[in-house]
Amino acid sequence: MASADANSADDARRRLREQGIVAVEPDGRIGVMLGPGERVVAVRHGVSIERRKDTRDPAEGLLGDLYVTTSRLVHLGSVPVEIKLLDIMEAVAATGALRLVVGDGRGVEIRTSDPCLLRVEIAAVREAARMTAAGSGDTQEAGEGTGQADTAGR
């Protein structure tokens, strides 16, 4: 299965280079939550997310649907979780999971069958969001917070 995920990630890299980011039609759950100009670019149904706020208060795995939008990750389950793309400092694909370091070093683990593909999708929209923010006068430097440039497999 890891090989299929790696192949899917390679295909996504090629597709993103050739076509850019392509939005998908939002369903009713996420559609009402989208901000002006925000688009859904990927959806994963039935994934588990685990937030590590600190060592004393970890949230157990929450099952729900994950939406990758042009500005954030939104996990809709029993407890909604939102992560701004520009808050993602690092992303590491592991067997069956994508591990993110966000904000002040908190950890988030997304359990999915295609962590490498998800990493590529997130990296593409993060880069686009970062470029948009830089173009709008955001104070974040172009190279800051990009510890997760997606160069694997190139």
pTM, two decimals, is 0.79
Number of Cβ atoms within 10 Å of the Cβ of 110:
26
Among 5-19, 47-61, 113-127, which stretch is predicted with the lowest mean pLDDT? 47-61
130 confidence band (pLDDT: 50, 70, 90): confident
Look-up of token digits 């090989």: 3
CATH class of the region 2-135: mainly beta
* pLDDT at site 137: 56
Mean pLDDT of 72-94: 94
* pLDDT at site 62: 87
Mean pLDDT of 61-77: 94
- The domain segmentation of the chain, as residue ranges, is 2-135
Number of Cβ atoms within 10 Å of the Cβ of 149:
10
